[in-house]
Amino acid sequence: MSHLLREHAPITAAGWKEVDEEARERLTPALAARKLVDFAGPLGWEHSATALGRVAALADEPVRGVAALQRRVLPLVELRAPFTVAREELRAIDRGAVDADLDALDAAAQRIAVAENLAVFHGLASAGIEGIAQVSSHPPVPLGEDACDRYPTHVARAVEMLLSAGIEGPYGLALSPEAYTGVVETTERGGYPLLDHLKKIVGGPLVWAPGVDGAVVVSLRGGDFLFESGQDLSVGYERHDEQAVHLYLEESFSFRVATPEAAVALPVNA
Amino acid sequence: MGFDQYHEPADELPPETRTFARMCASLTEEAEAIGWYEQRLAVEPDAQARAIMRDAQGEEFKHFAMDLEYLLRRTPRWREIAQGVLFQPGDVVEHGEEAEAESGDEEAAAGDAPRSGGGPGGSFGGAAAADGSLGIGSLKGATL
């Protein structure tokens, strides 16, 4: 039995199928980081740390004339977003209902996706994770509050920075929901969609990225940004009562930036 | 003891495939034992002996079920087809054909081989992957 304890939940196969499909549908659009960085795993719930290949010298010698080194690792962080599903809704699913109320699941999916994006792009200091925008070796390129039509200039500048540093493309552009909406809604002079113009500049995808401040341009060549999954996103069982089943979305992962030169942050404000 | 559960050279097989083959061999042995007890029960006149054999056959039922569940958890397409056939009322052959056909589209994505991690997980009756996760994995290359 897995630690998710799904077998203990009072949920039928049809109910689990609906819950899992809903979770997958809600998570996939919001998991921006996975669309731009390298993904390794899943390596299992038991996987606890990422080897960094480095050591730290211990100050004291265990025995005179014997040096001691300790391996450095990056422990995986566990993210968990609880939610409930009304048992009445689960019974409705079993009867064939296609409009079950799974709003709490949708909200939990959004929360955990934002948390993953935040960790990857802006870091999670308490877990020892440094984000892409944090460690970029390039000066940030401020987008400004209301200059959507100036995005091509800013993004082209970021791409030029990467090229100058010898970082090959194609590149991807993670955009905050506000920036993404602005891009989609904007048409440049001559009626050319801003979205298409930006795609041409970066040569890769534009990604809707809830949790991102402004935008981030990253190289997609591979080997620069390393997401290591222990347990991939899963739905687990916590408990149940007469009214509801208490479930949770959970994952474990670590994230490392191998090449700080391979990204440029474009925050709303400098 | 022989090693004839391996059809290919054992040293060329990855560890998870060797485990898979061992469990398949174990499943076969449990099924054979169930059949042997069934035959013995059919001819044994002594009631006490029959009771003991019936109890032993129950053990084999349990072993068979555990072996099967282990294999199904590691083989998403097998599990999906089994879910369409096992414990379903109605025509067994019909269910089998439908389950096989419905699983075909996902074969390329899910893979037939048992997996032990690495890349997106396969489907689990259209729901969880073999590791219990949602099987999302990498989305690199996807847009929006």
Question: Tens digits of per-residue pLDDT, A190-225?
Answer: 667 888 888 889 999 999 999 999 999 999 998 999
The model's pLDDT over A157-193, given as tens digits with 9 standing for 90+, comes to 999 999 999 998 899 999 999 999 888 887 766 667 8
Determine, for residues A21 and B127 on separate chains, whether the beta-carbon distance falls below 8 Å: yes
Rounded Cα distance between A30 and A208, Å, is 7
- Asked if residue B113 has pLDDT above 60, the reply is no
d(CA A35, CA A206): 10
> Is the omega angle on the peptide bond into residue A267 within 30 degrees of 0, that is, cis?
no
| Res. B48: pLDDT tops 90 | yes
Q: In this complex, is the C-beta atom of A12 within 8 Å of any C-beta atom belonging to chain B?
A: no
Instruction: Provide the pLDDT confidence category of residue B102 given band limits of 50, 70 and 90.
Output: confident
Query: What distance, in Å, lies between the first and last C-alpha atoms of chain A?
Result: 50
pLDDT band at B124 (very low <50, low <70, confident <90, very high): very low
pLDDT at residue B125 above 50? no
Binned at pLDDT 50, 70 and 90, residue A83 comes out as very high
CB–CB of A241/A257 below 8 Å?
Answer: no
Mutate to test the interface with B, among A181, A184, A221, A232 (most CBs of B within 10 A): A232
Q: Is A139 on the interface with B (CB under 8 A)?
A: no
Which tens digit of pLDDT belongs to each residue from A27-63?
Answer: 999 999 999 999 988 888 999 999 999 999 998 888 9
Using an 8 Å Cβ cutoff, are A4 and B73 in contact? Answer: no
Average pLDDT of the residues in A238-249: 96
**What's the whole-number mean pLDDT along residues A8-20?**
93
pLDDT band at B129 (very low <50, low <70, confident <90, very high): low
- Judged by a CB distance cut-off of 8 A, whether residue B87 touches chain A is no
> Which chain A residue has its CA at the smallest distance from B66's CA?
A1
Contact A44 B117 (CB under 8 A): yes
Q: Does B72 touch chain A (CB under 8 A)?
A: no
- B108 part of contact set with chain A, CB < 8 Å: no
**Non-local CB neighbours of B60 within 8 Å, separated by 6+ positions:** B30, B33, B34, B37
Check pLDDT > 80 for residue B112.
no
3-class secondary structure, A253? strand
CA distances from B8 to B4, B11, B114 (A): 9, 9, 16
Min Cα separation B140/chain A (Å): 4
Please answer whether residues A236 and A112 qualify as being in contact, where contact means their C-beta atoms are separated by less than 8 angstroms: no
Chain A partners within 8 Å of B143 (Cβ)? 35, 205-207
Say what the pLDDT of residue A39 is: 92
**Does the pLDDT of residue A268 top 70, yes or no?**
yes
Cα A38–Cα A138–Cα A33 angle in degrees, nearest 5:
25
pLDDT at B117 (0 to 100): 34
Query: Picking from A166-175, A216-225, B58-67, B126-135, which range would have the lowest pLDDT averaged per residue?
Result: B126-135
pLDDT class of B54 with cuts at 50, 70, 90: very high
Widest distance between CA atoms in chain B? 72
pLDDT value at residue B101: 84
Question: What pLDDT does B140 receive?
Answer: 84
* A2 lies within 8 A of chain B by CB: yes
Please report which confidence band the pLDDT of residue B1 belongs to, taking 50, 70 and 90 as the band edges.
Answer: very low
Chain-chain contact of B140 with A23 (C-beta, under 8 angstroms)? no
Please judge whether A232 and B144 are an interchain contact, meaning their C-beta atoms are less than 8 angstroms apart: no
Are the beta carbons of B143 and A35 separated by less than 8 Å? Answer: yes
CB proximity under 8 Å: A 194-253 to B: 205-208, 220, 229, 231-235, 251
**Higher local confidence (pLDDT), B115 or A58:** A58
Provide the sign of the torsion angle of the four alpha carbons A224, A225, A231, A234, taken in this order: negative
Mean pLDDT throughout A15-27?
94
CA-wise closest residue to A255 among A215, A226, A218, A214: A226
Side chain identity at residue B46, one-letter code: D
Question: Is B126 part of the contact surface with chain A (CB cutoff 8 Å)?
Answer: yes
DSSP A137: S
The share of chain A scoring above pLDDT 70, in percent, equals 97
Tokens of B97: 């054909």
**Chain A closest CA to B79's CA: distance in Å?**
13
Report CB contact under 8 Å: B136, A24: yes
Say what the pLDDT of residue A189 is: 66
pLDDT bracket for residue B11 (50, 70, 90): confident
**Residue type, position A197, single letter:** H
